[in-house]
Structure 1
């Protein structure tokens, strides 16, 4: 497509495939073959780490958020060329924000007995920060960097100023074993699971909504307030988008992505090692924003260099098909994955999926389901049916 950065679509498609690939259930194969380093490696990178650290799976949400920032300036330029006023564009940004928030809540309520008012879904987190991202997109790159600094330092200070859990804090009451190895001391104790500022906020905020029972904690430690540092991740993407739209030499641009990405990762690791701020995706700590943002810059450089600079695109076509309909695949995976698996077993039985033995049944079922998802998206692509918000 003339004028379109296909590397962005391929990168987006890559992270959506990683998300959908959860149905391959590598953890099941790891349990079946505990001595296999191969399945252990795949299972690790298909799961979120317990608290601090990072796996490939942990980079899905920051990549998706980062790409929202990258794409924003292209969208604003397109709408501006159509003569849309600032008020019209901002109105669209607010409408998009609301749809993303509600869609995230809707998807998290699938198979629930009532609406599950939770705000840690990827779409909801992006939606909560999107109006601020749009407004900052109207200002200079310098303003964007200042805003990023304010978000990161301000969020870190807010956590540090909130009292850390005392010696008598009952971790078992918030779903955390008292002897959990991820507990920190000193400044980092302010970022411990389900005993931090974001957890305290949710014990008030989420109980304002109708619930089957009072909210006490999130089992994974995820929190509503993570949308604030998620805005920081989107701001990093916004800066990348500015450089992509500039007249900078393509190879120099790749070098900048690699340099900035390396600096971000180094600073994030330094903050963690120095005991200032841990790298925790589940509460989106400032160190996580920098560390994961660094990886996003590197991944963007990889896809941009191969697809838009070296012009090697044919291999990436399946990823582009998925990436150009990211909202569609996100909803399909959350809404009809069980329906497809059940239908396969109903009409074909389990026999075809046992051809390699019982251990591989879930893997083969997942592969066929992924194939069906791709055929749906390929059909939509050929007919130019793209879901946009």
Structure 2
């Protein structure tokens, strides 16, 4: 993990307008703006702890609306499906995180190829990155223990366990990727089937009773709701992202065709997940194969919507505005490109381009920020005024504090990479 610098210290308008006037589009870095916004939305929601809404909901008992809010901002006890196609929004955070890793891989690979890196060097980088992510996951799991806590269910560890294998599918045909994805899900389903899908008796959880105790001489691990082997079906979630990344980078297809394929793919996955759910319960905590299909629909749809709004809609309008402004003075061009209505994009990009730093801050600094920054320095009357909404303000102010740090990093071109 290392800090990097990049030439992204631009105004909101310049960020949205694409390459500066006079710079050829083919020389622009192959970066997907909607993906950065996607990352930013997910990461900001994560380190704001769902804006504290699950705790706010507890202050409004006997309310159907707040009961739904509480369900949507927490992980359900076991089954992740409600009313056929319903789900908890909080359950979609990790799938979105892992999906985006897959989407970004073709772009990262192409960038390194353009820099002249050999295939073997890129392969080595992928596996080194995978190892670092696993170790970061273990580090975070050990944060509240006196010794090393060898657990691998943290999202970073789960990404790391599958990342190196995902690299081997880069550049492969859609057919090959599809066959691999289906084979993994079907094969994993049959591995799980003899033990069933109940909590603490499933095959992945039984595996952890043996595997995790290998790291504990005292053999004191007695089980948990999640499982190390979740990375196997979650690998397919990352593979879905890889396939979407390949699709969006395909210059032979029109934007309309790309969007149509994204929306149709999501619909197919949703139907497949619901149907598969009749024999394989949809459980996020086990990442059952049906869950991989089910959540895949929603994370793809969100990418499609953001791509449609940002890269296709705003991107086309701002790029044409940037070209027409080329003949004007620099000040006039800036005034034409800047649009306060698009500041929400800038807000989330600041977080999205530094997602590792954002995640680590959220995992390590939340209690300190809440207690030592806001609770200490804001007057008691403020907290009295917030009343039942105190959890919302606690969580949101923590998130805004982290955003300011990330904004400083962005303005100073400091980015944490693995």
Give me the TM-score of the superposition, normalised by structure 2: 0.82
Q: Give, in whole Å, the separation in 2 of the partners of 1:351 and 1:213.
A: 50
* Structure 1 counterpart of 2:406: 377
Instruction: Work out which structure has the larger RCO, using CA pairs closer than 8 Å and 6 or more positions apart in sequence.
Output: 2
* Structure 1 counterpart of 2:139: 106
Instruction: Tell me which moved more, 306-315 or 61-70.
Output: 306-315
Deviation at 1:36, TM superposition (A): 3.0
1:110-149 paired onto structure 2 within 5 Å:
110-149=143-182
Write out per-residue CA displacement over residues 333-382 of structure 1, whole angstroms, 9 at most, x where no aligned residue: 1111111111122333543222132x222222222111101111111111
* Structure 1 counterpart of 2:384: 354
Instruction: Tell me which moved more, 67-76 or 11-20.
Output: 11-20
SS, match of residue 191 in structure 1: coil
- Contact 2:267 2:297 survives alignment (8 Å): yes
1:207 aligns with 2:234: no
Structure 1's 238 and 329: CA in aligned 2 closer, same or farther, altered over 3 A?
same
Give me the TM-score of the superposition, normalised by structure 1: 0.88
1:1-389 paired onto structure 2 within 5 Å:
2=19, 3-22=30-49, 24-52=51-79, 53=81, 54-160=87-193, 162=194, 164=195, 190-210=196-216, 214-218=220-224, 221-247=225-251, 248-272=253-277, 275-311=278-314, 313-343=342-372, 344-357=374-387, 359-389=388-418
Runs of 4+, deviation exceeding 4 Å: none
Q: Give, in whole Å, the separation in 2 of the partners of 1:15 and 1:47.
A: 15
Write out per-residue CA displacement over residues 147-174 of structure 1, whole angstroms, 9 at most, x where no aligned residue: 10111111011111x3x3xxxxxxxxxx
Deviation at 1:203, TM superposition (A): 0.5
Instruction: Tell me which moved more, 231-240 or 42-51.
Output: 42-51
Deviation at 1:211, TM superposition (A): 6.5
Write out per-residue CA displacement over residues 58-95 of structure 1, whole angstroms, 9 at most, x where no aligned residue: 11111111111111111111111111111111110111
Q: Give, in whole Å, the separation in 2 of the partners of 1:43 and 1:90.
A: 43
Write out per-residue CA displacement over residues 253-273 of structure 1, whole angstroms, 9 at most, x where no aligned residue: 11110000000011100111x
Deviation at 1:212, TM superposition (A): 6.5
Deviation at 1:25, TM superposition (A): 2.4
Deviation at 1:55, TM superposition (A): 0.8
Instruction: Tell me which moved more, 192-201 or 49-58.
Output: 49-58
SS, match of residue 341 in structure 1: helix
Write out per-residue CA displacement over residues 293-350 of structure 1, whole angstroms, 9 at most, x where no aligned residue: 1111111100000000111744322111111111111000111111111112233354
Q: CA RMSD in A?
A: 1.6
Structure 1's 4 and 23: CA in aligned 2 closer, same or farther, altered over 3 A?
closer
- Contact 1:353 1:365 survives alignment (8 Å): no
Deviation at 1:30, TM superposition (A): 1.7
Deviation at 1:117, TM superposition (A): 0.9
Instruction: Tell me which moved more, 133-142 or 14-23.
Output: 14-23
SS, match of residue 58 in structure 2: helix
Write out per-residue CA displacement over residues 240-297 of structure 1, whole angstroms, 9 at most, x where no aligned residue: 011111021101111110000000011100111xx31111111111111111111111
Deviation at 1:23, TM superposition (A): 6.2
Structure 1's 356 and 342: CA in aligned 2 closer, same or farther, altered over 3 A?
closer
Structure 1's 351 and 108: CA in aligned 2 closer, same or farther, altered over 3 A?
farther
Q: Give, in whole Å, the separation in 2 of the partners of 1:281 and 1:211.
A: 30
Deviation at 1:138, TM superposition (A): 3.7
Structure 2: gaps spanning 5 or more residues: 1-17, 20-29, 82-86, 316-341
- Contact 2:45 2:51 survives alignment (8 Å): no
- Contact 2:233 2:288 survives alignment (8 Å): yes
Instruction: Tell me which moved more, 60-69 or 204-213.
Output: 204-213
